[in-house]
């Protein structure tokens, strides 16, 4: 079809937006709330088999013998597949040893219990809190960096030196829906997989390699997913095994990980620990020197400690000396966890900065404002710091560290700041306009719960002058045009760009069909409020439905892609955010409660203000979780994970999160800086930028700083549990 290209794809001007930037309800909200939305866990196929894994109970062991005969003898057990056989070295608790496939989930569990494995238990390393006690062989250098002259800076009489140590433990993704898959062969070399994934368009290719069939013969479906957070990009061992065994037994196979298995094996966020020394100029109160030793573990393979993100954001400190170590430990292997490396960077940097402010007797807000020029976006942070301070009522509630009254209940405020990229991923979209007036849009994308479906509907509706509920959004199926994986806050920029272009393309084609019947040029038409109108003759118009009758038999197909070298960019990257916490601490019990939490965030042009705010709420809650509750506890004796369950792997409930205020930076914002300078920024101008990662980065540091402000001492490591808070108050705070 000829491409006309007379309409602009640029986002409409602020005054002309009908849906973009408004608070639009999720188009799939009712389906989700009523249970009509089907997740992978809900997929059950006729004649389907269930698979369950036997997992290793040891942190480090060699398999001496496996006896599967009793499992195989159970009626209804169809297959026992050894995943890691005799002689294999297992390097963490929870790794898969064997898979039992049976007629029912219960029989598969019986089969797993009937397998006998003899292990040679080997020495383990599961505690990385003390760098000096980690065996040499488990410690690898992770880089050294030097800028300026640190020794000279620290030696200067004008410089005050502050030292501290900080830690943020290994945690998991703990997706509400665990990982899993249903695999069904529909022909000799044709496979359909329903899989809980962040990567609908990317699974088939990965599976094809393992199964040795053409990728195009594999259909991947994921209409709804119960969370991924970076842990669901691949088919995984279970996906490949489900497909292989389904082919062998000629029956569909379903494998969903049990909660313990998911917590043990399906990904962790690497820990981060640091010894930090800061130098601050006595007069200017500017940070002039930074020295740090950073370490952490990303599991048996090590890795996951990034020297480039500490100091976080304040990268322009003139004198720096940094070293990092990666620790290999017999703990669950790492996977990307929402904003990889950034929460660690914030938790190890913003805490040290707040300690410096406290040591100098400077208001923490003033200290951060005073040092924003050490970041890459001082104007954005200045605006956000001042807006967040108003929302948390900083002037009213702030007090010098520890000066919080005499009773057991003390309050405190704390700050953290963050950044993220959020560039658009590659995406292709098709928009169909049918002769009956209906419209659908197809992308091989996925909605992680972030509102992607709704955003796509809004973009089509805005472009075609319709309502979001009139648009059928078809995603979650690899038969649709490919879109990137949803990771790194790349989805909204990608799908909104491709969808906008596809919708504009479709509209141009419709205008060309309709124009003759109205006796005007296609370029004279606009689509608004369910009608096609002439710009030159205001009373000349036709309803959307009637206009679509001119299409003929075949529907119009509009195509859009991201990137599109022939078009201007509609999305970009690079955001800043500021968060502030107001906490109440019971000094007698060490229990920390969130009173109010303010998140001020920039993310470019916002498509749906409501789901954008929801993203921030979700990120903040996830951050409160790791600030106060979450950690993987390992037994020093056996090396086992002691809390692979949701009883002792604690997450907050709605009663634990306090009041959360999400403030989005939109449009032109003018703020007067402390020096009297008027700062004006147009936050819509860069176009659409991703938002998934940023709001989860700062809560750990902001809450830790608020607790320090409340109780007068730093609790060195997260989560801020009663035992650690009381230890810090007793002067015994450490990294343990």
Partner 1 sequence: MNAFEYASPQTVQEAVELLGPGWQDSAVLAGGTDLLSLMKDGIVSPRRLVNIKRIRGLDRIELIGDVVRIGATVTLEQLLRDATIAARFPSLTQAAAGVTSPQIRNMGTVAGDLCQRPRCWYFRAGFGILATGPDGEPLVPAGDNRYHAIFPEGQAYYVHPSSLAPALIALEATVEIHGPQGTRELPVEELYRIPGSNNERELNLGPREIITAITIPANGVKNATYEVRQRQLLDWPLATASVALRLSGRKVVSARVVLGHVGPRPRRATGAEAVLNGAELNEQRIEAAARAAVQGARPLSRNGYKVQLAQVAVKRALASLA
Cβ–Cβ < 8 Å for 596, 467: no
Q: Of 167 and 590, which CB lies nearer to partner 1 in the complex structure?
A: 590
Neighbours of 594 (CB within 10 A): 23
Where would I find the H helices in 257-363?
259-265, 342-360
Integer angstrom CA distances of residue 726 from 360, 490, 707, 712, 721: 25, 41, 12, 12, 9
Cβ–Cβ < 8 Å for 709, 700: no
**Signed CA dihedral, 334, 340, 346, 352: sign only:** positive
Q: Of 114 and 547, which CB lies nearer to partner 1 in the complex structure?
A: 114
Is residue 75 part of the contact set for partner 1 (CB under 8 A)? no
CB of 387 to partner 1, least distance (A): 29
Q: Of 223 and 641, which CB lies nearer to partner 1 in the complex structure?
A: 641
Q: How many residues bind partner 1 (CB under 8 A)?
A: 34
CB of 99 to partner 1, least distance (A): 18
Is residue 13 part of the contact set for partner 1 (CB under 8 A)? no
Is residue 513 part of the contact set for partner 1 (CB under 8 A)? no
Is residue 130 part of the contact set for partner 1 (CB under 8 A)? no
Of 400, 388, 410, 406, the C-alpha closest to 592 is 410
CA–CA gap between residue 470 and residue 457 (Å, rounded): 8
Residues 6+ apart with CB under 8 A from 575: 380, 419, 420, 422, 601, 602, 603, 604, 689, 691, 694
Q: Of 127 and 376, which CB lies nearer to partner 1 in the complex structure?
A: 127
Please give the DSSP secondary-structure letter assigned to residue 725: H
Q: Of 131 and 591, which CB lies nearer to partner 1 in the complex structure?
A: 591
CB of 724 to partner 1, least distance (A): 9
Is residue 648 part of the contact set for partner 1 (CB under 8 A)? yes
CB of 622 to partner 1, least distance (A): 15
Is residue 727 part of the contact set for partner 1 (CB under 8 A)? yes
Is residue 106 part of the contact set for partner 1 (CB under 8 A)? yes
Convert residues 610-629 into a mask of x (bound to partner 1 by CB under 8 A) and - (unbound).
Answer: ------------------xx
Of 69, 52, 68, the C-alpha closest to 105 is 52
- Binding test (CB under 8 A) with partner 1, winner from 251, 561, 613, 640: 640
Residues 6+ apart with CB under 8 A from 451: 26, 608, 610, 611, 612, 614, 615
Of 192, 171, 339, the C-alpha closest to 266 is 171
Q: Are strands 139-147 and 218-221 parallel, antiparallel or unpaired?
A: unpaired
Is residue 332 part of the contact set for partner 1 (CB under 8 A)? no
Task: Say whether 334 sits in a helix, a strand or coil.
Answer: strand
The string of DSSP codes covering 181-215 is EEEEEEETTEEEEEE--S-HHHHHHHHHHHHTS-G
- Binding test (CB under 8 A) with partner 1, winner from 363, 376, 564, 656: 656
Residues in region 530-589 near partner 1 by CB under 8 A: 588-589
- Binding test (CB under 8 A) with partner 1, winner from 130, 543, 723, 734: 723
Is residue 265 part of the contact set for partner 1 (CB under 8 A)? no
Looking at the chain, the number of H-run helices and the number of E-run strands are 17, 30
CA–CA gap between residue 492 and residue 423 (Å, rounded): 9
Is residue 651 part of the contact set for partner 1 (CB under 8 A)? yes
Of 735, 629, 620, the C-alpha closest to 172 is 629
Q: Of 157 and 655, which CB lies nearer to partner 1 in the complex structure?
A: 655
Is residue 650 part of the contact set for partner 1 (CB under 8 A)? yes
Please give the DSSP secondary-structure letter assigned to residue 333: P
- Binding test (CB under 8 A) with partner 1, winner from 87, 538, 636, 676: 636
- Binding test (CB under 8 A) with partner 1, winner from 131, 391, 591, 661: 591
CA–CA gap between residue 484 and residue 685 (Å, rounded): 24
Is residue 109 part of the contact set for partner 1 (CB under 8 A)? yes
Please give the DSSP secondary-structure letter assigned to residue 281: E
Convert residues 692-721 into a mask of x (bound to partner 1 by CB under 8 A) and - (unbound).
Answer: -----------------------------x
CA–CA gap between residue 620 and residue 657 (Å, rounded): 9
Stretch that binds partner 1, among 300-308, 421-429, 430-438, 644-652 (CB under 8 A): 644-652
Is residue 50 part of the contact set for partner 1 (CB under 8 A)? no
Convert residues 396-415 into a mask of x (bound to partner 1 by CB under 8 A) and - (unbound).
Answer: --------------------
CB of 733 to partner 1, least distance (A): 12
Q: Of 154 and 629, which CB lies nearer to partner 1 in the complex structure?
A: 629
CA–CA gap between residue 311 and residue 351 (Å, rounded): 11
CB of 69 to partner 1, least distance (A): 19
Q: Of 256 and 664, which CB lies nearer to partner 1 in the complex structure?
A: 256
Is residue 643 part of the contact set for partner 1 (CB under 8 A)? yes
Please give the DSSP secondary-structure letter assigned to residue 503: H
Task: Say whether 426 sits in a helix, a strand or coil.
Answer: coil
CA–CA gap between residue 183 and residue 191 (Å, rounded): 7
Is residue 653 part of the contact set for partner 1 (CB under 8 A)? yes
CB of 631 to partner 1, least distance (A): 11
Is residue 113 part of the contact set for partner 1 (CB under 8 A)? yes
Q: Of 588 and 685, which CB lies nearer to partner 1 in the complex structure?
A: 588
CB of 589 to partner 1, least distance (A): 5
Q: Of 276 and 329, which CB lies nearer to partner 1 in the complex structure?
A: 329
- Binding test (CB under 8 A) with partner 1, winner from 79, 251, 321, 634: 634
Stretch that binds partner 1, among 428-436, 451-459, 463-471, 641-649 (CB under 8 A): 641-649
How deeply is 284 buried, as exposed, middle or buried, from its count of CB atoms within 10 A (0-12, 13-18, 19+)? exposed
CB of 726 to partner 1, least distance (A): 5
Residues 6+ apart with CB under 8 A from 61: 89, 90, 119, 120, 121, 122
Q: Of 156 and 643, which CB lies nearer to partner 1 in the complex structure?
A: 643
CB of 727 to partner 1, least distance (A): 7
Q: Of 406 and 568, which CB lies nearer to partner 1 in the complex structure?
A: 406
Integer angstrom CA distances of residue 457 from 144, 464, 571, 686: 48, 11, 17, 21
Q: Of 106 and 469, which CB lies nearer to partner 1 in the complex structure?
A: 106
Q: Of 65 and 668, which CB lies nearer to partner 1 in the complex structure?
A: 65
Q: Of 18 and 642, which CB lies nearer to partner 1 in the complex structure?
A: 642
Stretch that binds partner 1, among 433-441, 462-470, 604-612, 653-661 (CB under 8 A): 653-661
Q: Of 215 and 642, which CB lies nearer to partner 1 in the complex structure?
A: 642
Task: Say whether 521 sits in a helix, a strand or coil.
Answer: coil
Q: Which residues of 662-698 are buried (b: 16+ CB within 10 A; e: fewer)?
A: bbbbbeebebebeeeeeeebebbebbbbbbbbbbbbb
CA–CA gap between residue 88 and residue 289 (Å, rounded): 48
CA–CA gap between residue 503 and residue 556 (Å, rounded): 10
CB of 656 to partner 1, least distance (A): 5
- Binding test (CB under 8 A) with partner 1, winner from 637, 676, 678, 731: 637
Is residue 726 part of the contact set for partner 1 (CB under 8 A)? yes
Is residue 95 part of the contact set for partner 1 (CB under 8 A)? no
Stretch that binds partner 1, among 231-239, 313-321, 528-536, 647-655 (CB under 8 A): 647-655
Residues that bind partner 1 (CB under 8 A): 106, 109-110, 113, 588-591, 628-629, 633-638, 640, 642-643, 645, 647-648, 650-656, 721-723, 726-727
């Amino acid at each position: 079809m000829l491409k006309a290209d007379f309409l602009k794809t640029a986002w409409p001007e602020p005054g002309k937006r009908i849906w973009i930037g408004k608070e639009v309800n999720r188009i799939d909200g009712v389906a989700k709330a009523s249970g009509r939305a089907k997740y992978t866990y809900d997929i059950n196929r006729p004649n389907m088999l269930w698979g369950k894994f036997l997992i290793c109970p040891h942190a480090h062991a060699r398999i001496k013998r496996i006896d599967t005969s009793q499992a195989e003898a159970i009626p209804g057990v169809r297959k026992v597949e050894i995943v890691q056989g005799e002689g294999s070295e297992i390097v963490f608790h929870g790794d898969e040893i064997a898979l039992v496939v049976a007629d029912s989930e219960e029989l598969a569990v019986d089969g797993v219990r009937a397998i006998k494995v003899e292990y040679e238990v080997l020495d383990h390393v599961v505690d990385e809190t003390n760098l000096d006690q980690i065996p040499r062989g488990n410690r690898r250098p992770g880089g050294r960096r030097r800028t300026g002259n640190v020794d000279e800076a620290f030696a200067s009489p004008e410089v005050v030196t502050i030292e501290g140590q900080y830690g943020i433990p290994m945690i998991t993704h703990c997706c509400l829906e665990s990982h899993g898959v249903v695999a069904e062969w529909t022909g000799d070399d044709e496979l359909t997989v329903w899989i809980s994934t962040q990567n609908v368009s990317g699974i088939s290719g990965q599976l094809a390699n393992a199964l040795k069939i053409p990728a195009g013969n594999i259909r991947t479906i994921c209409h709804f997913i119960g969370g991924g957070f970076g842990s669901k990009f691949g088919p995984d061992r279970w996906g490949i095994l489900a497909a292989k065994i389904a082919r062998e037994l000629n029956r569909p196979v379903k494998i969903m990980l049990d909660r313990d298995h998911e917590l043990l094996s399906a990904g962790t966020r690497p820990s981060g620990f640091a010894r930090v020394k800061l130098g601050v100029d006595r007069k200017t109160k500017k940070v002039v020197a930074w020295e740090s030793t950073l370490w952490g573990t990303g599991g048996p393979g090590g890795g996951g400690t990034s020297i480039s993100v500490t100091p976080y954001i304040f990268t322009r400190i003139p004198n720096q000396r940094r070293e990092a170590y990666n620790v290999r430990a017999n703990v669950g292997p790492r996977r990307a966890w929402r904003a990889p490396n950034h929460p660690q960077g914030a938790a190890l940097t913003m805490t040290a900065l707040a300690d410096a402010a406290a040591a100098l007797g400077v208001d923490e807000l003033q200290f951060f404002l005073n040092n924003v020029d050490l970041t890459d976006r001082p104007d954005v942070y200045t605006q956000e710091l001042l807006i967040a301070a108003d929302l948390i009522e900083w002037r009213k509630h702030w007090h010098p560290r520890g000066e919080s009254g005499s009773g057991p209940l003390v309050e405190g405020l704390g700050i953290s700041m963050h950044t993220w990229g959020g560039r658009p991923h590659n995406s292709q979209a098709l928009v169909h306009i049918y002769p009956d007036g209906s419209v659908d849009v197809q992308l091989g994308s996925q909605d992680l719960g972030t509102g992607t479906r709704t955003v796509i509907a809004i973009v089509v509706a805005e472009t075609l002058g319709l309502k979001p509920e009139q648009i059928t959004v078809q995603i979650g199926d690899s038969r649709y045009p490919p879109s990137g994986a949803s990771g790194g806050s790349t989805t909204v920029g990608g799908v909104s760009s491709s969808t906008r272009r596809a919708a504009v393309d479709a509209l141009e084609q419709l205008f060309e069909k309709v124009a003759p019947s109205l006796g005007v040029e296609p370029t004279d038409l606009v689509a608004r409020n369910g009608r096609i109108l002439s710009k030159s003759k205001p009373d000349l118009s036709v309803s959307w439905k009637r206009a679509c009758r001119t299409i003929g038999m075949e529907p119009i197909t509009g195509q859009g892609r991201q990137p599109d070298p022939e078009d201007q960019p509609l999305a970009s990257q690079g955001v800043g955010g500021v968060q502030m916490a107001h906490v109440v601490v019971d000094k007698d019990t060490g229990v920390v409660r969130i009173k109010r939490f303010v998140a001020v965030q920039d993310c470019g042009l916002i498509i749906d203000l409501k789901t954008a705010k929801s993203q921030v709420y979700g990120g903040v809650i996830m951050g409160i979780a790791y600030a106060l509750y979450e950690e993987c506890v390992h037994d020093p004796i056996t090396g086992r994970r002691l809390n692979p369950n949701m009883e002792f792997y604690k997450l907050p409930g709605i009663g634990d999160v306090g009041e959360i205020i999400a403030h989005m930076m939109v449009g032109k914002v003018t703020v007067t800086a402390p020096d009297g300078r008027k700062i004006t920024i147009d936050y819509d101008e860069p176009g659409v930028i991703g938002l998934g990662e940023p709001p989860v980065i700062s809560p750990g540091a902001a809450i830790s700083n608020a607790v320090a402000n409340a109780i007068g001492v730093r609790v060195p490591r997260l989560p801020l549990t009663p035992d650690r808070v009381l230890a810090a108050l007793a002067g015994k705070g450490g990294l343990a």
